[in-house]
Structure 1
Amino acid sequence: MAILHSVSYGTGTPLVFIGSLGSTTDMWLPQLDALHKDFRVIAVDHRGHGLSEVIHQTPTVADLAEDVLETLDSLGVEEFGVVGLSLGGAVAQYLAATSPRVTKAAFICTAAKFGEPQGWYDRAAATRENGTASLAEAVIERWFSPIWLENNPASRDHFEAMVASTPSEGYALCCEALATWDFSDRLQEITVPVLTIAGADDPSTPPATLQIIADGVAGESTAKVLSPAAHVPTIEQPAEVTALLAAHFA
């Protein structure tokens, strides 16, 4: 397991943010700025992403969850709320189901199962062969709606560079973690209060995919859909996402 690179602000109840494949803690900047006065906000980089080291073994989502718990141990955090987006949402589902330290959870643009395994193995192979820079433009066009990309060229460049700077092996190994992820039959193990947030324009995890999670958990759940928004509404609809999180974790 690994202690991950993290950023932490504020002194309130801990709220942990876990991002997508190919992201860094920058995915959460609007929420970290807005919520640090009411919570201790902590964002992490997955292993092999951002400033976290590459570990040269194929992880499971359970391994990635253990990384988060080890990191929180190093920060002196016991109970916490968890917010996960995409890959981070898978990790957050696992934590919410298995760790008694989780008090509430929010799952953003994620899934209990992301397509078929072969697609992820193919993407891992392509990443190792061609590098993350070869994927960055296509990834960003799934992350954000066309009108947002047109109106925010500087931010587009920033997030393309984020994806392109992800170590190819770190990205590929996390693709392989998603290949083996299927929590469809375990959603009922999640008994804490759950918020799901979907992007109306998300081609990767459309609203129906988030509704499956909201309907499947055993705890109280609330499902929200934001529009316009694609796969990363934390950046595209920051005020709306922040308000929903603040209300849910209050």
Structure 2
Amino acid sequence: MTLHATIDGPPDAPVLLLGSSLGTTGAMWQPQVAALAGRFRVVRYDHLGHGGSPVPPGPYTIDLLGREVLGLLDHLGVGSAHYAGLSLGGMVGMWLAAHAPERIDRLALLCTSARLGPAQVWRARAAGVRAGQLGTIADTVVSRWFTPGFAAARPDTVAGYRDMLTATPPAGYAACCEAIAAMDLRADLAAVRAPTLVIGAADDPATPPEHAADIAERIPAARLAVVDDAAHLANVEQPAAVALLLRAHFEPEGGTNP
């Protein structure tokens, strides 16, 4: 079982894995590809149960999602890589950096949380999706992804991301909701040794900036940045600002890691 991935950039460049949010695919990162693929071999993967990746029966856990990413690295012949993940992608990134530290060189965590309760809300969402498909929650979810101003100014962009959400296999989405319900990575974060950038979004109702601050406090020597005028999918609302932060983090002092 191998995760689906889209690869851009020079084959001999340092590898940068990009993990997307719940209910999206690697296409979520399209706004950053041009800025990153000149310097990195950018690997945008689909989580288990999402996009072109397999949809095995549940239960899923963050541990399972992380091990599938390690399997992708093995499949690609990559010993270690940089990693940036948003939301669910960030949760997987924290697990990877804590449990497979030799595989993660530098880490960026965007609009995510180490513990995102209450668990019963996630379990109820999973049950609702299984019963009624993703269209029943799409408008509520997307309203948390973008600020009202962005949604009004860029309706076509918002509609495209809504389509991405509703195309997600309901069984995979629900199983990932249950993985988030059971997740608590807070005690793992002290073990992270990769240089880490934590990015919050000022207007994010799903994982408010306080969650980013908590992660940054728990990871040794992590750096915190907050992007203004953005909700949960900050990389879409503020593509240039996010790309600049990622480039600066993954190219310290103007160079790339070997």
Q: TM class, shorter-chain normalised?
A: over 0.9
Shift of 1:57: 2.0
Q: Distance in 1 between matches of 2:157 and 2:123?
A: 30
Instruction: Specify the alignment match of 1:131 in structure 2.
Output: 133
**What code does the residue aligned with 2:50 have?**
H
- The root-mean-square deviation of aligned C-alpha atoms, in Å, is 0.8
Instruction: Specify the alignment match of 1:185 in structure 2.
Output: 187
Instruction: Specify the alignment match of 1:8 in structure 2.
Output: 7
The question of whether the paired residues in 2 share the 8 Å contact of 1:199 and 1:229 is answered with yes
Shift of 1:136: 1.2
Shift of 1:185: 1.6
Q: Distance in 1 between matches of 2:39 and 2:145?
A: 28
The question of whether the paired residues in 1 share the 8 Å contact of 2:95 and 2:188 is answered with no
Map 1:169-180 to 2 at 5 A.
Answer: 169-180=171-182
Q: Distance in 1 between matches of 2:23 and 2:56?
A: 15
Which of 154, 157, 160 lines up with 2:159 in the alignment?
Answer: 157
**What code does the residue aligned with 1:246 have?**
R
Shift of 1:33: 2.1
The question of whether the paired residues in 2 share the 8 Å contact of 1:48 and 1:171 is answered with yes
Instruction: Specify the alignment match of 1:122 in structure 2.
Output: 124
Q: Distance in 1 between matches of 2:38 and 2:8?
A: 8
Q: Distance in 2 between matches of 1:208 and 1:21?
A: 20
User: How many equivalent pairs are there?
Assistant: 248
Tell me if 1:104 matches 2:106.
yes
The question of whether the paired residues in 2 share the 8 Å contact of 1:135 and 1:164 is answered with no
Instruction: Specify the alignment match of 1:241 in structure 2.
Output: 242
**What code does the residue aligned with 1:226 have?**
V
- Any idea what SS the aligned residue of 1:128 has? helix
Percent identity for Structure 1 against Structure 2: 41
Shift of 1:39: 0.6
Map 1:61-80 to 2 at 5 A.
Answer: 61-80=62-81
Tell me if 1:87 matches 2:88.
yes
Moved more, 225-234 or 2-11: 2-11
Q: Distance in 1 between matches of 2:186 and 2:199?
A: 18
Shift of 1:210: 0.3
Structure 1 portions without partners, runs of 5+: none
Q: Distance in 1 between matches of 2:48 and 2:68?
A: 8
**What code does the residue aligned with 1:52 have?**
S
Instruction: Specify the alignment match of 2:52 in structure 1.
Output: 51
- Any idea what SS the aligned residue of 1:185 has? helix
Q: Distance in 2 between matches of 1:121 and 1:140?
A: 19
Instruction: Specify the alignment match of 2:32 in structure 1.
Output: 31
Q: Distance in 1 between matches of 2:74 and 2:235?
A: 26
**What code does the residue aligned with 1:16 have?**
L
Which of 199, 202, 208 lines up with 2:201 in the alignment?
Answer: 199
Q: Distance in 2 between matches of 1:152 and 1:235?
A: 11
Shift of 1:241: 0.4
- Any idea what SS the aligned residue of 2:186 has? coil
Instruction: Specify the alignment match of 2:142 in structure 1.
Output: 140
Q: Distance in 2 between matches of 1:70 and 1:206?
A: 31
Instruction: Specify the alignment match of 2:256 in structure 1.
Output: none
**What code does the residue aligned with 1:130 have?**
G
Deviation per CA, 1:176-212: give whole Å up to 9, x if none. 1101100112210111111011110001111111000
- Any idea what SS the aligned residue of 2:241 has? helix
**What code does the residue aligned with 1:6 have?**
A
- Any idea what SS the aligned residue of 1:197 has? strand
Shift of 1:75: 1.2
**What code does the residue aligned with 2:131 have?**
E
